Amino acid sequence: MRTLRATLIACLAASISLGAGAATSAARAPSPAAPPTAAVATAPAVPLLVGVRAASHRTFDRVVWEFRGGLPSTRIVRYVPELIADGSGEPVRIAGSAILGLTMFQANAHDENTGRSTAPRRVVAGLGNVIEVVQSGDFEATVSYGVGLAKRQRFTVTTLRNPSRIVIDVRKDYRQATRTVRLLDEPRFAAGTPPFTRNVTRRVPAAAPAGAVLHQMFAGPTARERARGLRTVRSGATGFTRLTISSSKVARVYLKGRCDSGGSTFTVANLIRPTLKQFPSVRWVKIYDPQGRTERPTGRSDSIPECLEP
């Protein structure tokens, strides 16, 4: 009996030992090799436009676009017949007799988290050649701007570092003259205290000053002038297509875009007339709507189209 019990105990111990060994072998068995970790490609940060500014130099005007996070991969700069909005294809208002277009690929001008713009969409420079700088697109990592010029001239494009900048220098090595542009004094107009307009000075090409000052008037006040309460009034117009001055001292201005007084007694005509009459060659001003109509097309008198009546 004792021998049988000893035999059973020995068998049980052997069984436990084999089970433990199996468990140990299972624990120590090499696991299948883990698949190699795939490298996760991280898209490079898109440069962010954070500033747009313009400055005058003796023989050229400079426009600067400043970026954070490097420079756009590709830049295209060329003269364009008109400024077109990316996506919609609609014309964008910009003042000037010539337009220099800049398109920057792999760039943003807005915060991707909030959608807020990180750079000015419109900068009125009021310089001897660069009149204003206007954004025409910020879509799918492509940013576009137009530079409205008083005169088409040669230009150069360079890049600078620390901080990252794209720089366009536009020549203005032509004779210039100082002329006045009439703007609305909004606080005085709101208070009903005449005069409702104020003069500001601009440097313009001496060879064609009348058209140049009209472009400056449509561009409106600089940031500093705006802070003083000055505004321009366009009455729906985006500019003008043609300006002629006859030997009988009659200036004819043909508006483009729309034409609508909005029921106001103060319209774009209140700025166009005094801006042009500063020139000895202009005594009367006739303003035409975009369809080429004005109330008194003939004779020596001022005239406005019906759309500018209150």
pLDDT over 90 percentage in the chain: 85
- Per-residue pLDDT, averaged over 217-236, amounts to 98
The predicted pLDDT at position 13 comes to 36
Structure tokens at 146: 């137009």
At 172-207, the pLDDT tens digits run 999 999 999 999 999 999 999 999 999 999 999 999
277/284 Cα distance (integer angstroms)? 7
Query: Token pair for residue 181?
Result: 């542009």
Instruction: Tell me the C-alpha to C-alpha distance, in Å, between residue 35 and each of 26, 41, 42, 72.
Output: 21, 18, 21, 38
pLDDT higher than 90, residue 150: yes
* CA-CA-CA-CA dihedral for 204, 206, 211, 215, to nearest 10: -10
Mean pLDDT of the chain: 89
Instruction: Render pLDDT for 34-77 as a digit per residue (tens, 0 to 9).
Output: 444 444 444 458 999 999 999 999 999 999 999 999 999 999 99
pLDDT at 44: 57
pTM: 0.85
Token pair of 222, please? 């600089």
Strand-pair category, 176-185 with 197-205: antiparallel
pLDDT in tens, 241-272: 999 999 999 999 999 999 999 999 999 999 99
- Give the Cα separation of 227 and 107 in Å (integer): 31
For 3-12, the pLDDT digits (tens) are 333 333 333 3
Q: How far apart are CA 106 and CA 70, in angstroms?
A: 10
* Residue 150 to residue 214: CA distance in whole angstroms: 10
Residue 87: the pLDDT is 86
Domains and CATH numbers, the chain: 48-171 (2.60.40.3500), 176-308 (no CATH)
pLDDT reading at 234 higher than 80: yes
pLDDT for 61 equals 98
Question: pLDDT tens for residues 117-144?
Answer: 999 999 999 999 999 999 999 999 999 9
